[in-house]
Structure formats: structure tokens, C-alpha cells
């Protein structure tokens, strides 16, 4: 065969692979307003930056080779905002993007290369699960798994996943192992499809109830964000990656002075009522101190008593953990604790300093919380915070009571703590204490109740804390941003170039 003939053969095979499942299937997706596996890469990556590997891969089953272009997984390397990433995009038009021996090798190659070379991995999830009948039988099961540690996560590099359609089997596993997971509305994330599940349990199962975006953003907490379209989901992945380093051995990228703008924080006093019993939205405080437009919330619909968000301070990536008085007065429940723990693990694993904004009456007590193992989640959060080795800076706004004082950075659990002039710290709310200690109720004897509460409120002010060096500074609330910027600069880990000990890099991705 001449070189001309060889090159013609190569071009034919490449064109066949890039045609994916065929014009009819691709047109159907376009009609539904869905991107395909390759157009998703166009939306995710910088223009003309994608370099594909495994284009000519096909099924290991010889009879299926002509019907499995790229074996249902488009894989390779590209750039996001000029930084290299590795990516796997599932092609549902080819055998439902089902997992097979060949495409498992492609995924293993992508992960191994990304880990060795220090670049993030992005998974674009849409898959029917394992390929049947290819995977049936003992021989197939024994030979499966191109990567001996296929589902072991050490957080050497950031992982991000977008669930953009039906997502089952290994596509689900990689989504759950990721540091960031965004779901498009209408997509499904589950162990198996509704059809398989219905057959297994003998009941009709609704896909949305099985693994829809509401379930995973509001109940399980697996989804960090929700998007209305493929394009929005992919833009959220791009934005998430902008806060993180390419790998765990470097500090996050820092924006130059011309790229960030300080917020107008003069109105911060108007955002927080001085009366500690009145509610407000802590998210407004985060926006009032972080660089303008930089706040990127995670798990916004889950564990709402705590707000977790990536943001920037003078161009530097930071992670906010803040109790929100808008939700049950800021009392934390097991979901809020798990949300905070998960966020702390990510920040510490990728060298992102942590800022804690505190205004909480403590932990939410009750039968419901105990049934969700509240004590264990409280201690998980405590354990995570104490293992955090990146800078931790806390600001107590109004109140911090009980064990929650420690869980939110009190004691020696922060590198530096400041208190607003309105701050109050004690074992419990003085009003609750008056009822517990003296058996008093405000509606029965308001004078005695107030007297008892005032007695318990003694020695709880910001100045009392400062007098015993329980906080390093008492600050004007309007100086909060200046304090945070200065404290972060002071506590930068210079000896390690901003790299922490990463003791939680192997922490479970769900607990």
C-alpha cells in the first residue's frame, strides 16, 4: 500500500470516529437542545486547544468495532484559561457511552497522565453504565479494571465533573469522587437506571426521584451546583477551576492588581442588625468583604445553615465557611457540618486559605439530628478543621456559643481571630441558660428572666475575650476586609511556598 493510500485510510478512519453515532442521533440531540460529546469540549476548552488521544479506539469485541467510534468516550488534553487540563467526555450516541475494556484503558491513561504531569481532570458524565453483554461472565469481570486503583482518590490534582444526562455506573463513580460536581436540570445521577432499578425492586421508579438534580442538590448534597443548560454547566466548571491550582504541589493562581476590584464595604453595618436575635443573610457579608464578583458558592441548596464559597481577596483564592443566621438562626445541623467538612477537605488539599465568619447559637438539637448521627458529624467537622494546615482566620460577628465556638475556629482552631464590637461568646445563649439553670421563662416572669439572663451575659463580650487573648483583635466591622487581607498575608506559609501538609487528601468523598 502506498503512502497516499495509507493516508487516505487514516483520514477515513478518523472521519468515521469523529462522526460518533451518526448524523441522525446527533441531529436528535441538537433538536433537544443538547450538546454532543465533542461540542461540549468546544464549550469547555479554550479555542483550538484540544488534543485527542484514543480517537481510533474501538470495542475489544471484534464484531462491534465498526459501531464503536472512539469506543464511546472522547478523551484528551486541552486548556482552560491557558492552563492545561485532561478531559473525558462521554458520547451517549455510541452504545450509550457504556463502560468497556477499551474505554476503561483510555480513562486510566488520562488519569495517570494528569496525575504524573500535574493537571486537573474533568469528567463530562453521560453514560448508561457497564456495557452488556461484554461485561457478563466471570472471565470478563476478572479481566476488567484497566487501573488497579481505579477509584482511589488522593487529590493529587483537582477533579471536576458535569452530569449532563443519564449518568450511571463508572460515570457516576467518577462524579462522586470529584471535588466539584455540577448537574444540569433533567440529568440523572444514580447507581443504575430507573429501568434496571424498577426491575430489581419490582416497583416503578421515577428517574427524577431516583437521582435528579433536586435530590442531589437538596437532600444528598452530592451536587455542588445546578445548571439550566450544558453551556452553563461547563462555564461553572471553568470558573471552579480558576480558583484551584493545577496540582496539589503549588499554590492557587493569583490575579494581578488590574484583574480584581475591592467591594464597597461601607454599608456593612447596615447589613447586620446589632440585636443578636434579628436575622440577616451572611452571604451579603461575604460579598461585602471579598473581591467584587468573585464569590462562587458551593452546595448552596444543601445544609443551608452554613455557607461555603470560594472567593478571592486581593486576587488570592480563599474559602469561606460562614454560619447563616437566616437559617434557624445559624444553628448547625448534621448536613451543615458535613457540608463544612467536605469544603475544608478540598481547601486544605489544594492549599486554599480558610476564612470563618461566625454568628451561631450552636448546634441544632433534637431527635431528627441525633438520628442523622449529629455527634459524629460535629466531630468530623472538628477533626477536619483541626487537620487544616493552610491559614485559618476567623471573625466573630455577633455570637458564638458552646461546642460550635470551637468548630467555627474558636480557641486555638484558627491562626488568628478577630471579634466585632458586637461579639458575644459563652457556653450557651444567656436566655437559654436562664431557663436551664433557673427554670425561668420570659412569658411567665419577664423581670426575673431578664435579670438571670443579664447575669449569665457578664464576661461574654468582645472585650472580655480580648482581655484573656481569646481573640487577637476587636475590630470595627467596617475594617473586616482590611483585617482579613492583613491576617492572610501574615499567616502565609512561606516556608513551604503556600503548600499545606495535606493530611486530608485521602479523606472520604462522602461520609
Output the pLDDT for position 436: 47
Is 436:428 a contact under the CB 8 Å cutoff?
A: yes
User: Is omega for the bond preceding 361 within 30 degrees of 0, making it cis?
Assistant: no
Distance, in Å, from the CA atom of 337 to the CA atom of 408, rounded to the nearest integer, reads 10
Asked, for residue 437, whether it belongs to a domain, the answer is no
Q: What confidence tens digit (pLDDT) does each residue in 224-249 have?
A: 999 999 999 999 999 999 999 999 99
355 three-state secondary structure: strand
Q: Give the CATH number for residue 489.
A: 3.90.226.10
Could you tell me what percentage of the chain is helix, strand and coil, using 3-state DSSP and rounding each to the nearest 5? 40, 20, 40
Asked, for residue 182, whether it belongs to a domain, the answer is yes
Asked, for residue 482, whether it belongs to a domain, the answer is yes
Judgement on whether residues 212 and 261 belong to the same structural domain of the protein: no
Query: What is the phi/psi pair of residue 327, to 5°?
Result: -110, 110
139 three-state secondary structure: helix
Owner of C-alpha cell 434496571: 196
Distance, in Å, from the CA atom of 186 to the CA atom of 211, rounded to the nearest integer, reads 10
Output the pLDDT for position 345: 98
Judgement on whether residues 218 and 342 belong to the same structural domain of the protein: no
Judgement on whether residues 239 and 269 belong to the same structural domain of the protein: no
- Which residues does residue 309 pair with via DSSP β-bridges, in sequence order? 297, 320
> For the chain, what is the radius of gyration of the CA atoms?
26
Distance, in Å, from the CA atom of 261 to the CA atom of 263, rounded to the nearest integer, reads 6
Print pLDDT tens along the chain (511 aa): 899 999 999 999 999 999 999 999 999 999 998 999 999 999 999 999 999 999 999 988 888 888 899 999 999 999 999 999 999 999 999 988 888 889 889 999 999 999 999 999 999 999 987 777 666 655 555 555 567 778 889 999 999 999 999 999 889 999 999 999 999 999 999 987 767 666 666 777 777 888 899 999 999 999 999 999 999 999 999 999 999 999 999 999 999 988 999 998 888 999 999 887 899 999 999 999 999 999 999 999 999 999 999 999 999 999 999 999 999 999 999 999 999 999 999 999 999 999 999 999 999 888 888 988 999 999 999 999 999 999 999 999 999 988 998 999 999 999 999 999 999 887 556 555 545 445 556 665 565 565 555 555 666 788 988 899 999 999 999 999 999 999 999 999 999 999 999 999 999 988 7
Asked, for residue 435, whether it belongs to a domain, the answer is no
| C-alpha cell belonging to residue 345 | 477537605
Judgement on whether residues 263 and 233 belong to the same structural domain of the protein: no
Angstrom CA distances, 484 to 291, 415, 437, 462, stand at: 12, 12, 38, 18
Asked, for residue 446, whether it belongs to a domain, the answer is no
Judgement on whether residues 159 and 302 belong to the same structural domain of the protein: no
Judgement on whether residues 289 and 143 belong to the same structural domain of the protein: no
Asked, for residue 438, whether it belongs to a domain, the answer is no
Judgement on whether residues 92 and 228 belong to the same structural domain of the protein: yes
Angstrom CA distances, 116 to 76, 109, 487, stand at: 15, 11, 34
Angstrom CA distances, 51 to 41, 44, 48, stand at: 11, 13, 9
Is 348:389 a contact under the CB 8 Å cutoff?
A: yes
Judgement on whether residues 270 and 206 belong to the same structural domain of the protein: no
Last residue of a domain, one of 212, 243, 274: 243
Judgement on whether residues 300 and 195 belong to the same structural domain of the protein: no
Asked, for residue 445, whether it belongs to a domain, the answer is no
Is 79:26 a contact under the CB 8 Å cutoff?
A: no
Distance, in Å, from the CA atom of 54 to the CA atom of 32, rounded to the nearest integer, reads 28
Burial of 133 by CB count in 10 Å (0-12 exposed, 13-18 middle, 19+ buried)? exposed
Output the pLDDT for position 189: 93
Is 113:61 a contact under the CB 8 Å cutoff?
A: no
Judgement on whether residues 198 and 289 belong to the same structural domain of the protein: no
Asked, for residue 431, whether it belongs to a domain, the answer is no
Judgement on whether residues 271 and 299 belong to the same structural domain of the protein: yes
Judgement on whether residues 272 and 234 belong to the same structural domain of the protein: no
Distance, in Å, from the CA atom of 366 to the CA atom of 356, rounded to the nearest integer, reads 25
Is 318:355 a contact under the CB 8 Å cutoff?
A: yes
Q: What angle do CA 329, 327, 409 make, to 5 degrees?
A: 65
Output the pLDDT for position 427: 55
Query: What is the phi/psi pair of residue 424, to 5°?
Result: -145, 130
Containing structural domain, residue 20? 3-243
Output the pLDDT for position 458: 61
Last residue of a domain, one of 243, 269, 291: 243
DSSP letter, residue 422: T
Domain count along the chain: 2
Last residue of a domain, one of 220, 243, 266: 243
Instruction: Identify which of 122, 125, 71 has the alpha carbon closest to the alpha carbon of residue 101.
Output: 71
Amino acid at each position: 500500500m502506498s503512502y497516499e493510500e495509507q493516508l487516505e485510510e487514516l483520514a477515513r478512519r478518523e472521519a468515521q470516529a469523529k462522526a460518533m453515532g451518526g448524523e441522525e442521533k446527533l441531529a436528535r440531540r441538537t433538536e433537544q437542545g443538547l450538546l454532543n460529546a465533542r461540542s461540549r469540549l468546544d464549550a469547555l476548552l479554550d479555542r483550538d486547544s484540544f488534543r485527542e488521544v484514543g480517537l481510533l479506539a474501538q470495542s475489544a469485541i471484534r464484531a462491534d468495532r465498526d459501531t464503536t467510534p472512539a469506543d464511546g468516550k472522547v478523551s484528551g488534553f486541552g486548556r482552560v484559561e491557558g492552563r492545561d487540563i485532561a478531559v473525558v467526555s462521554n458520547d451517549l450516541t455510541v452504545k450509550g457511552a457504556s463502560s468497556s475494556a477499551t474505554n476503561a484503558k483510555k480513562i486510566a491513561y488520562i488519569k495517570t497522565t494528569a496525575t504524573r504531569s500535574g493537571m486537573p481532570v474533568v469528567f463530562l458524565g453521560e453514560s448508561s453504565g457497564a456495557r452488556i453483554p461484554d461485561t457478563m461472565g466471570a472471565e470478563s469481570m476478572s479481566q476488567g479494571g484497566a487501573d488497579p486503583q481505579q477509584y482511589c482518590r488522593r487529590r493529587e490534582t483537582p477533579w471536576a465533573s458535569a452530569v449532563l444526562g443519564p449518568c450511571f455506573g463508572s460515570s457516576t463513580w467518577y462524579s462522586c469522587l470529584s471535588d466539584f460536581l455540577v448537574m444540569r436540570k433533567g440529568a440523572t445521577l444514580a447507581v443504575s437506571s430507573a429501568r434496571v432499578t424498577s426491575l430489581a425492586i419490582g416497583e416503578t421508579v421515577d428517574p427524577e426521584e431516583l437521582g435528579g438534580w433536586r435530590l442531589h442538590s437538596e437532600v444528598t448534597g452530592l451536587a455542588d451546583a445546578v445548571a439550566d443548560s450544558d453551556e452553563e454547566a461547563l462555564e461553572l466548571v471553568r470558573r471552579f477551576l480558576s480558583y484551584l491550582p493545577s496540582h496539589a504541589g503549588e499554590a492557587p493562581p493569583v490575579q494581578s492588581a488590574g484583574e480584581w476590584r475591592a467591594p464597597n464595604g461601607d454599608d456593612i453595618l447596615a447589613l447586620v442588625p446589632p440585636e443578636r436575635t434579628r436575622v440577616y443573610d451572611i452571604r451579603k457579608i461575604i460579598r461585602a468583604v471579598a473581591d467584587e464578583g468573585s464569590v462562587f458558592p458551593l452546595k448552596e441548596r444543601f445544609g443551608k445553615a452554613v455557607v461555603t464559597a470560594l472567593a478571592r481577596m486581593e486576587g488570592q483564592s480563599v474559602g469561606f465557611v460562614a454560619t447563616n443566621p437566616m437559617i434557624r438562626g445559624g444553628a448547625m445541623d448534621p448536613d451543615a457540618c458535613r457540608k463544612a467538612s467536605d469544603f475544608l477537605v478540598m481547601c486544605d488539599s489544594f492549599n486554599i486559605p480558610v476564612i470563618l465568619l461566625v454568628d451561631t447559637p450552636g448546634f441544632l438539637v433534637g431527635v431528627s439530628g441525633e438520628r442523622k448521627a449529629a455527634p459524629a458529624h460535629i466531630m468530623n467537622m472538628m477533626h477536619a478543621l483541626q487537620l487544616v494546615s493552610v491559614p485559618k482566620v476567623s471573625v466573630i460577628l455577633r455570637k458564638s456559643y458552646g461546642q460550635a465556638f470551637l468548630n467555627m475556629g474558636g480557641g486555638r482552631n484558627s491562626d488568628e481571630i478577630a471579634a466585632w464590637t458586637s461579639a458575644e461568646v459563652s457556653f450557651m445563649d444567656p436566655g437559654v441558660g436562664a431557663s436551664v439553670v433557673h427554670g425561668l421563662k420570659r412569658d411567665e416572669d419577664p423581670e426575673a428572666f431578664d435579670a438571670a439572663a443579664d447575669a449569665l451575659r457578664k464576661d461574654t463580650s468582645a472585650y472580655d475575650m480580648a482581655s484573656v487573648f481569646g481573640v487577637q483583635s476587636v475590630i470595627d466591622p467596617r475594617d473586616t476586609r482590611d483585617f482579613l487581607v492583613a491576617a492572610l498575608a501574615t499567616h502565609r506559609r512561606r516556608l513551604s511556598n503556600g503548600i499545606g501538609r495535606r493530611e486530608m487528601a485521602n479523606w472520604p468523598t462522602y461520609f
